[in-house]
Amino acid sequence: MSPTHPHPSDLSPETLVVSAGRPERVHDAPVNPPIVLSSTFVGTGTVVDGDRAYGRYSNPTWDPLEEAISALEGATVPSLVFGSGLAAVSAALSLVPVKGVLVMPTHSYQGALVMAQELAAKGLFVLRTVDIADTDEVISALTGAGERAASMLWLESPTNPMLEVADLRVLARSAKAVGALVVTDNTFSTPLVQKPLELGSDIVLHSVTKYLAGHSDVVLGSLTTSNAELRATLHHHRSIHGAIAGPFEAWLALRGLRTLALRVERSQATAGELARRLEAHGGVDAVRYPGLDSDPGHQRAKDQMHGFGSILGIEVSGGAAAAEAVVEALRIWTPATSLGGVESLIERRRRHANEPTSVPENLLRLSVGIENIEDLWADLEQALRRGATG
């Protein structure tokens, strides 16, 4: 690890996003960590833990980003960055023992769900999918109801794209009672809104591509844990399977991270107001957003989140065709997959063949950016009018 300037552990997240991962504060040191472009590192003798040795094991440009994510999630050891969010998913799923049992939400990040389904189809483990908002159903799946207990509980809250909210504390306790590891995908919330390690998770996953990097120009993932042994196992997986981050991408992600607090504050406030307006709109059958008093997960989200995030879902009146018409009529909202960037994105999720059929055909997922709220609202209103008239 390269030397970095230490930061107090009691700093607020808004300060940590700016201060964590800075170079050591010595005379003429750079304020920002530099990019190190090297495939190998000088060394003699036996390679020991901590040696860089080779670019697949370590790179100085990863270190500050890993330190910053770790600090934000409240972990006691550095995070691990991966070449993509799915690379991080793959490493986390490698912890499920052969013939073990994985419990995963029916509505999860599509890539993670498809990967789990394919691994289960090969007989590597048993997959049990559950309504993650139904605590009793999840606990039953964990205990096995007379069959094998779970080896891993995969949590996502709020879920993608249905925005269901899990009782993270209770489910983490229940998983640990049967000896299961708990992995939480915290991509939607970011560590500014939700701290899964504090709520009982063993590992926190991020698609760094999304909010942490924040500018739709990087593909990266990360895993964070306070368990040094788990980290070592995940590090070995990353090294052997080659799921490494490019140094330039890591540098860009850290640069983007510096404005995370401002971006989340703005986009979250806008998302909440848009959700309230859309709930009253005649062209919308339903709005999914845990910040609404009417949302089934509202109270649970209030108890375990610091805010409600910047993603919302709407079910457009008139079905899939009307929903597509709305997307095509938008001028400011960008029709694209992904989320968490400075620009507002919108997508009909069932356009993807692998999306669960329980996701409504007319559901649009909105990733709210940092544009002017009235411009975003006016664009939505005119598009909803056009969608209603065909």
Return the closest-CA partner of residue 367 out of 376, 358, 375, 359: 376
pLDDT computed for residue 65 by the predictor: 98
Of 329, 324, 322, 315, nearest to 360 by C-alpha is 315
Q: Is the pLDDT of residue 2 over 80?
A: no
CB 327 within 8 Å of CB 75:
no
pLDDT surpasses 80 at 98: yes
pLDDT at residue 336 tops 80: yes
Sheet holding 284-288, edge to edge: 284-288, 311-316, 363-367, 345-348, 334-335
1 falls in which pLDDT band (50, 70, 90)? very low
DSSP 4: B
Instruction: Give me the active site residues, please.
Output: 56, 109, 185, 210
Query: Which band of pLDDT confidence, cut at 50, 70 and 90, is reported for residue 193?
Result: very high
Report the C-alpha gap between 242 and 330 in whole angstroms: 40
pTM equals 0.95
Inform me whether the pLDDT recorded for 3 exceeds 60. no
Q: Is residue 88 within 8 Å of residue 66, measured between CB atoms? A: no
Return the pLDDT at 387. Answer: 76
Q: Give residue-wise pLDDT tens across range 12-56.
A: 999 999 999 999 999 999 999 999 999 999 999 999 988 999 999
Average predicted confidence (pLDDT) for the chain: 96
As a whole number, mean pLDDT of residues 94-105 equals 98
What residue has token string 């799921």?
Answer: 243
Report the range of poorest mean pLDDT among 88-92, 216-220, 250-254, 351-355.
351-355
Torsion of CA 105, 109, 113, 116, to 10 degrees: -100
Helix (H, G, I), strand (E, B) or coil at 316: strand
Question: What is the widest separation between alpha-carbon atoms in the chain?
Answer: 74
Say yes or no to pLDDT of 9 above 90.
no
Which pLDDT belongs to residue 8?
Answer: 62
- Computed from CA positions of residues 194, 198, 201, 206, in that sequence, does the dihedral angle turn out positive or negative? positive
Average pLDDT over residues 283-302: 98
Q: Does the structure show a pLDDT above 70 at 4?
A: no
Average pLDDT of the segment spanning 242-258 = 97
State how far the Cα of 124 lies from the Cα of 265, in Å rounded to an integer. Answer: 42
- Torsion angle of the four alpha carbons 47, 53, 55, 60, in this order, in degrees rounded to the nearest 10: 110
Alpha helices, DSSP H, located in 8-143: 13-19, 62-73, 85-93, 110-121, 135-143
Residues 6+ apart with CB under 8 A from 256: 212, 213, 214, 215, 218
The amino acid at 258: R
With 80 as the cut, is the pLDDT of residue 388 above it?
no
User: Given phi > 0 = left and psi -120 to 50 = alpha, else beta, which region is 295?
Assistant: beta
User: The dihedral of CA 318, 337, 243, 187: what is its sign?
Assistant: negative
Q: For residues 95-123, give the mean pLDDT.
A: 97
Phi, psi of 133 (to 5 degrees): -80, -15
pLDDT of residue 50: 85
Q: Which domains does the chain have, with CATH numbers?
A: 13-257 (3.40.640.10), 261-389 (3.90.1150.10)
* Out of 69-73, 146-150, 212-216, least confident range: 146-150
Q: Do the beta carbons of residue 154 and residue 181 sit within 8 Å?
A: no
Query: Mean pLDDT throughout 88-98?
Result: 98
Nearest by Cα to 338 from 320, 352, 359? 352
